Amino acid sequence: MSELKEKTDNKITTYMERSLHASLKEHFCPDRSRHELKIGRYVADACDGKTIFEIQTGNLSPLVKKIKFYLENTDLDVVVVRPIAQNRRIFWLDAASGELNKPSRPSPRHENIACGIADLFYVRELLGEKRLSFCFVLMDVNEVRLLDGYGKDKKKRATSLDRLAGEIYSLTYINSLDDVRDILFPLLPDSPFSRDELAKCLKLGGLKLWSAQKLLVETGLLSSERDGKKLIFWKNC
C-alpha cells in the first residue's frame, strides 16, 4: 500500500488518478499507449481504435455532453464502465504515524446491479443509442481512508484517499430500456407493490431508491398511483 501515499511534512498527497480508475482502464484496454487519447475537444479514458471506454466511478451525468459528442462526431462505439462494489474493505491510514490499519472484516455496505441501474436515471435520454452501452462491473473494492474525521475513532466523514480494484465477478452490459426491464422485472412482484416493497426487492434506499423509482416510472417501465398516503406501482409488460 506504500505506493498510495507520499509523506511530506506530515501531509498525505495522492495521485490525481485513483487506482480503481486506472485498473479498469487497463482491464478494458491493456495497451497503455491508447489511454488518455484526445478525440475532438475531449480526452477519452481509453480507445482501442474501435471502442471508446469511459470509466466513471461517480455520478454519470457529467458524461452526457461528452458521450453525445462521441456519438455525433465519430463512428466509434462507446462503452461507459461503472464499477459496482459488491464487497468493500476499508483500510485506515494514520497520517501522523503512516500506519495502515487492515480491516478485520468487510464493510457491511454492499452494492448490487440495481445500484448501477439507478444511476442510469441521470443519462436516461441516451438509453437506446445504437453505439452506446453501459457496462456495470460487479467487483470487490478496497478503499483507503485517512483518520481525519469526527468522533472518538476519527472515522466519521473521513477523507477517502484511494480506491483499489479487487476481484471482478461479472460484467453486465445495458444498451436499452429492454435490458433494464430484463434485469429488474424478475426481482419485482407481478402484483401491485408499495415503495417499501420496491426498496426491499431492489435492496436500495435513499437517493439510489429515488433514482431507480424515477427511472422506472419516467421511462414507462412502471406505472404508479396514490392510494391514500401510499404510492403504488405496477409493471408495464
Query: What is the identity of the amino acid at 171?
Result: L
Residue 17 has pLDDT above 70, yes or no: no
Cβ atoms < 10 Å from Cβ of 125: 9
Own/partner long-range contacts of 39-44 (Cβ < 8 Å, ≥24 apart): 39/70, 39/74, 39/76, 40/69, 40/70, 40/73, 40/74, 41/69, 42/66, 42/69, 42/70, 44/70
Strands (E), the chain: 6-8, 11-13, 35-39, 42-47, 51-55, 77-93, 100-101, 132-146, 160-174, 193-194, 222-227, 230-235
Top pLDDT among 150 and 196 is at: 196
Percentage of the residues of the chain whose pLDDT score is greater than 90: 70
Say if CB 29 and CB 49 are below 8 A apart: no
Nearest residue to 10 via CA among 147, 157, 144, 143? 147
- Give the single-character DSSP code of 118: H
Residue 109 has pLDDT above 90, yes or no: no
- Hey, what's the cell of 90? 476499508
- So what CATH class is 189-237? mainly alpha
- Sorting pLDDT into bands at 50, 70 and 90, what band is 92? confident
Residue 11 has pLDDT above 60, yes or no: no
Given the C-alpha cell 467487483, which residue does it identify? 139
The structural domains of the chain, with segments of one domain joined by +, span 2-175, 189-237
Top pLDDT among 221 and 99 is at: 221
Query: What is the identity of the amino acid at 73?
Result: N
User: Within 59-205, where are the H helices?
Assistant: 64-73, 113-119, 177-184, 195-202
Distance from the Cα of residue 121 to its chain's centroid: 13
- Hey, what's the cell of 169? 465477478
Tell me, what's the pLDDT at 18? 83
Top pLDDT among 110 and 136 is at: 136
pLDDT (mean) for 101-127: 89
Residue 156 has pLDDT above 90, yes or no: no
Residue 74 has pLDDT above 90, yes or no: yes
Strand order in the sheet with 193-194: 193-194, 230-235, 222-227
pLDDT (mean) for 166-188: 96
